[in-house]
Structure 1
Amino acid sequence: MMPSYAALDVSQETTAICVIDDAGRVLAEKKVATCPEVIAAYLNQKAPGLVRVGLETGPLAVWLWNELAARRLPILCIDARHANAALKMRPVKTDRNDAAGLAQIMRTGWFKQVRIKSRDSYRVRSLLVAREMLVRIRVKIENEIRGLLRTFGVLFGKRVGGFTGRADEIIAGELDASPEMRLIAETLMKARASILDQIRVLDRRLMAVARANPTARLFMTVPGVGVITALSVTSSFDDGSRFSRSSSAGAYLGLTPRRYKSGETSRNGRISKQGSVMTRKHLYEAATTLLTRNLRFSTLKAWGLKLAKASGFKKARIAVARKMAVILHAMWKTNTPFRWSQEEAA
């Protein structure tokens, strides 16, 4: 049976399919509905000796990959940035041309495969994303209240009792002379209270998930790492065996410097910021907590504070976040809790 290779250029309504042979000649191409059954039926009919079929990362990639893998197709998901580097050489961009280009990439093997995480990891990440969205809305409401009050000369400031206490104080006193502003402030505060209630609902669910997850509980032995960070890292890595070396964890999350070297020029840049923005942010917050809060002494904190004195606090937080990622992955691989000092490590 002649080997063949195929690729899918996926959009919301339709998917362009291209099938080529081992020499790169087009055997079949068609645009079909974005439906796993339709795509699988077409490939089974037109590519009986299918070696690989690829699609780029995108909004529908996880769903399609799982459905086509369940139908026993040799489906691969490839990095869209890597594919774009090859496809942008084509002068004309169409769905048909993109599918043909992706098929050639499948044939040559010049691609970077992307790991599709487990459904449980995606469920946890969905909870984290939903919570982060609600937190952003809460912060936006609070900033809007401060800005509106400042326009009328009312400075919010910081008082004992937190944001709610200070807002109630202003509504009850300084806004008596302005019924419109009082109505606006009360309405926004009610919206904020509703958002806080929903955040608490998600927090309780995340705590329940963390209690049932041994890896998350293990990660929470690290100072500064709470439920959110533990679940974020767990769902981002998905599997402790995916990296052969724990040092790769920092690069995976975009916490290592970019490197440029050409001829006599060699320089390191800022961190790459590849990978999950959310997990990188959570690790950065955990590193800040470790360095600024009065937590129990640890070798990691001592190392971070020494680095802060030499290179500045901002660089130290990034370096500690990267080291945390490496430590967390090593803990997962070896199933050992955090070691607070070098004596424990020995």
Structure 2
Amino acid sequence: MTKYAALDVSQELTAVCVVDETGRITAEKKIATCPETINSWLSKNAPDLVRVGMETGPLAVWLWNELHDRGVPIVCMDARHAHAALKMRPNKTDRNDAAGLAQIVRTGWFKHVRIKSRDSYEVRSLLAAREVLVRTRVKLENEIRGLLRTFGVLFGKACGGFALRAEEIVAGELDASAPMRVIVETLMQARMAILDRLKVFDRQVLMIAKKNPTARLFMTAPGVGAITALSVASVFDDAERFKRSSSAGAYLGLTPRRYESGEVSRNGRISKHGNQMTRKHLYEAATTLLTRTKAFSTLKAWGLKLAKVAGFKKARVAVARKLAVILHAMWKTNTQFCWSATAA
């Protein structure tokens, strides 16, 4: 008799439940969150295993790869989709969640989540670490501005950048205040250390982009640099990820929400589902395309025309969505960006 299983994963223990094709529970237990332990227990208690399911989570990538390498028919389910079914149970326990997930796996009523390749996760880890340093640098700069403003010292703008202006303030307006001079100098030293680490990450990003043919292909599009190219390539992971390139915009949360019930029918703001970091990179690429790119392109003309009608913010979101669609189509067809409709 065929069997189906589900894992409710936590850091130390994992609740496992096995059901047969009729939905009857045949085995359940809490075991250590170890791929070898889970594989051994499933081999012993569910020899005719058809499918094993688990939710997305912090340990999902590691556990999925380890179990998949051991020949376990593991699938990863969208946690939001599974939660919609599990919330009908009156009591939430690890045992009940595992049993509910097993029934979802048996019926097939779940949304399959694709686990990306190891290279894609390594690139995304690099971009995420760089994003943390960028936010820390901006927070330090804003903190310096705020502390100086309290004492009537306005930072403003000066030729030479943030560091030169800070040196001028420390040597001039803060010369009579030793405590504030120490505070600002300490924060500036922390900022310089962050900038040094950022340079290391930027060199790694450029080196990876040069070796990645997909990233080089994406960088032929206006506004798309090494960071955006690697971010989009790593989040898509595979050119055959979508049957239609138009699905790329919805995957990144760049399409409007839709609500329809009876006589009520309305469109809302964009869903913002999918990866937030890649969506931010596409926003920045769209802004660069509309404001800094001087070369003409059909995409820029369309975006500027839309900005006159709907405003720049909406136009930027629309261009970001269309840019995601275009980049996926470029990858799928292995063609460079077409600057005009005539060239296309």
TM-score tier, shorter chain, comes to: over 0.9
Residue correspondence of structure 1 range 244-259 to structure 2 within 5 A: 244-259=243-258
Give a deviation string over 1:44-69, Cα, whole Å, max 9, x none: 00000101100000000000000000
Give a deviation string over 1:63-99, Cα, whole Å, max 9, x none: 0000000000000000000000000000000000000
In the alignment, the residues of structure 2 paired with residue 284 and residue 47 of structure 1 have an alpha-carbon distance, to the nearest angstrom, of: 48
Give a deviation string over 1:261-317, Cα, whole Å, max 9, x none: 111111100000000000000000000011111421110000000000010000000
In the alignment, the residues of structure 2 paired with residue 162 and residue 290 of structure 1 have an alpha-carbon distance, to the nearest angstrom, of: 24
User: Can you give the 5+ residue segments of structure 1 that lack an aligned partner in the other structure?
Assistant: none
Q: Is the 8 A contact 2:222 2:293 kept in 1?
A: no
In the alignment, the residues of structure 1 paired with residue 293 and residue 200 of structure 2 have an alpha-carbon distance, to the nearest angstrom, of: 29
Match of residue 224 from structure 1: 223
Q: TM-score, normalised by structure 1?
A: 0.99
Residue correspondence of structure 1 range 131-280 to structure 2 within 5 A: 131-280=130-279
Q: Is the 8 A contact 1:10 1:34 kept in 2?
A: yes
Match of residue 32 from structure 1: 31
Q: What is the one-letter code of the residue matched to 1:341?
A: S
Q: What is the one-letter code of the residue matched to 1:263?
A: G
Match of residue 40 from structure 2: 41
Q: Is the 8 A contact 1:131 1:202 kept in 2?
A: yes
Q: Is the 8 A contact 2:258 2:267 kept in 1?
A: yes
In the alignment, the residues of structure 2 paired with residue 294 and residue 27 of structure 1 have an alpha-carbon distance, to the nearest angstrom, of: 63
State the 4+ residue runs in structure 1 displaced beyond 4 angstroms.
none
In the alignment, the residues of structure 1 paired with residue 235 and residue 57 of structure 2 have an alpha-carbon distance, to the nearest angstrom, of: 17
Q: Is the 8 A contact 1:20 1:103 kept in 2?
A: yes
Q: What is the one-letter code of the residue matched to 1:253?
A: L
Q: How many residues align?
A: 344
Structure 2 SS opposite 1:343: coil
In the alignment, the residues of structure 2 paired with residue 219 and residue 295 of structure 1 have an alpha-carbon distance, to the nearest angstrom, of: 18
Q: Is the 8 A contact 1:223 1:295 kept in 2?
A: no
User: Can you give the 5+ residue segments of structure 2 that lack an aligned partner in the other structure?
Assistant: none
In the alignment, the residues of structure 2 paired with residue 66 and residue 248 of structure 1 have an alpha-carbon distance, to the nearest angstrom, of: 26
Structure 2 SS opposite 1:38: helix
In the alignment, the residues of structure 2 paired with residue 199 and residue 14 of structure 1 have an alpha-carbon distance, to the nearest angstrom, of: 38
Give a deviation string over 1:157-201, Cα, whole Å, max 9, x none: 111111111111101111101000000100000000000000010
Structure 1 SS opposite 2:75: strand
Q: CA RMSD in A?
A: 0.5
Structure 2 SS opposite 1:342: coil
Q: TM-score, normalised by structure 2?
A: 0.99
In the alignment, the residues of structure 2 paired with residue 165 and residue 243 of structure 1 have an alpha-carbon distance, to the nearest angstrom, of: 49
Structure 1 SS opposite 2:31: strand
